[in-house]
Structure 1
């Protein structure tokens, strides 16, 4: 007999399927992109609905990712408790949930943003749910470098929702997240490399070893430190952001240096700490962009 939880999935199961913590960061970065594009005050009700559309599509992409990766998730300790793996949601329900969220999000974007934002968001969905998840992730250790383009799109989507264009300033925000993505995910892959090996995924620590991965993380952290200063260099932000970026960059590089210098016994603990800090780094960096713009408005 089918269990009650399989027949009647709970709201919590569907909520978890959409990876809400990841989506919250996505929507936040998109909202910063909106604000930096300098919308009129009267536009914010429309933009809030557009941001909701971005969030819906992101949750749809996350649900599609869980659906496509359910067999791999079943052999990885990190993902073994996901609703699809545990049978709390069926494949048909998950597919319907992903489609419904994606269609609803695209409809909101078409109605309250513009055709450019809608098209870019659809391309981002395809890039993450299909190109990265289905093709790149099982094919190459550079999967996150190539596929990271989809994850770096939120501020571009937010900017496009306001202006209907993609200026150089939006491209700089894209570059920040794009450069942040490899060290963020490689830190996770480093201390979860046994999981990825069991799943047959060619993540960098599996194919090239922990020492090479630690070096790659350090080199990307140095690149990120330079890219994170671009908003100040192009006058998108002011001195407050510069001070915050310098402090965050120093903290990130210090942690990656400790990871690089660590031995095998302490490498996993260092990588776990770096992974957690990297999430805070991106949140605080974009929060500094937001605070800097608010300060500029208050002092204008």
Structure 2
């Protein structure tokens, strides 16, 4: 029996799924914070719009490439088997063509309408995630998410560069926050999904070194993250409001990770994973509010 072609609404939903909209939304949010923190007042509207769209399209392109590369693994995992490629709704060439259109459009916008440095760094981030992490690191080492986290931590730097055309030390602090946040964020999910990763021979830390070992690493990185988030205040980048929010959220995140360590077979891994997203949004929102509060009070 011939499989019926999906209707337009289903097809649109499948292409949207390729973009991993929740992930892209978080990437764009941190990039926008980087843009707004880059200058003391209003950002140039054209750079803000074209920079946001360019970075967002590049992130969506990387996500689509990730779908293509992981299509066989996705077909074997319960969490991903309903994605467009495993279900057969889309073909490999369609996914790669879609990714190419998004990527080329993103690079053209950034190169010609923002600045070449933003385009080059965004391309490097795309290649780092879609190729270096997905093809090599993900399957090579249990430290894959630590090393590959550099690509995911780039968006605020990309946003900053889109507005100023240069890499500033404060932008690198934003990078460092996300880079340190990524391991406890992802390892919490990996603990919950460890049986699925083991099934497809993916060397995630809970699979290769066990849940207890991973739990200690999550706590260690969360403590490190709490210390890293003090740097914007210590360097004068932000004020007291940010410091209070960062410390409160950091202590709360640490409490979640301790609960996960004590009871990794309950709901705590996914609770910790969910809170980690709330945590990152809260820290970056506090940076932004503190920044404009200082501008208004100046």
Q: TM-score, normalised by structure 2?
A: 0.96
1:155 deviates by 0.4
C-alpha distance in 1, partners of 2:51/2:127?
19
C-alpha distance in 1, partners of 2:284/2:9?
39
The corresponding residue for 1:249 is: 250
The corresponding residue for 1:200 is: 201
1:168 deviates by 1.0
Task: Kindly provide the CA deviation profile for residues 70-100 of structure 1, in whole angstroms up to 9, marking residues without a partner as x.
Answer: 0001111111111111111111111110000
Compared CA separation, residues 42 and 157, structure 1 to 2 (3 A): closer
The corresponding residue for 2:27 is: 26
Task: Kindly provide the CA deviation profile for residues 220-277 of structure 1, in whole angstroms up to 9, marking residues without a partner as x.
Answer: 0000000011111111111111111011001001111111222xxx534111100000
Which residues of 2 match residues 103-252 of structure 1 at below 5 A? 103-252=104-253
1:6 deviates by 8.7
The corresponding residue for 2:280 is: 282
Compared CA separation, residues 7 and 69, structure 1 to 2 (3 A): farther
The corresponding residue for 1:291 is: 289
C-alpha distance in 2, partners of 1:297/1:85?
50
User: Is the 2:160–2:171 Cα contact (8 Å) retained in structure 1?
Assistant: yes
C-alpha distance in 1, partners of 2:46/2:9?
35
User: Is the 2:114–2:162 Cα contact (8 Å) retained in structure 1?
Assistant: yes
The corresponding residue for 1:45 is: 46
Question: Helix, strand or coil: the match of 1:4?
Answer: coil
C-alpha distance in 2, partners of 1:210/1:145?
17
C-alpha distance in 1, partners of 2:8/2:283?
43
1:112 deviates by 2.1
Question: Helix, strand or coil: the match of 2:76?
Answer: coil
1:45 deviates by 2.7
User: Is the 1:13–1:83 Cα contact (8 Å) retained in structure 2?
Assistant: yes
Task: Kindly provide the CA deviation profile for residues 124-180 of structure 1, in whole angstroms up to 9, marking residues without a partner as x.
Answer: 000000000000001110000100000000000011111111121111100000000
Task: Kindly provide the CA deviation profile for residues 43-88 of structure 1, in whole angstroms up to 9, marking residues without a partner as x.
Answer: 1232211110000000000000001000001111111111111111
Q: TM-score, normalised by structure 1?
A: 0.96
C-alpha distance in 2, partners of 1:42/1:62?
28
1:218 deviates by 0.4
Q: Which runs of 5+ in 2 are unaligned?
A: none
Compared CA separation, residues 161 and 39, structure 1 to 2 (3 A): farther
C-alpha distance in 2, partners of 1:57/1:287?
23
Q: Which of 40-49 and 104-113 deviates more?
A: 40-49
1:41 deviates by 3.4
C-alpha distance in 2, partners of 1:67/1:222?
36
Q: Which of 182-191 and 81-90 deviates more?
A: 81-90
Q: Which runs of 5+ in 1 are unaligned?
A: none
User: Is the 2:20–2:60 Cα contact (8 Å) retained in structure 1?
Assistant: yes
Matched, 1:273 2:271: yes
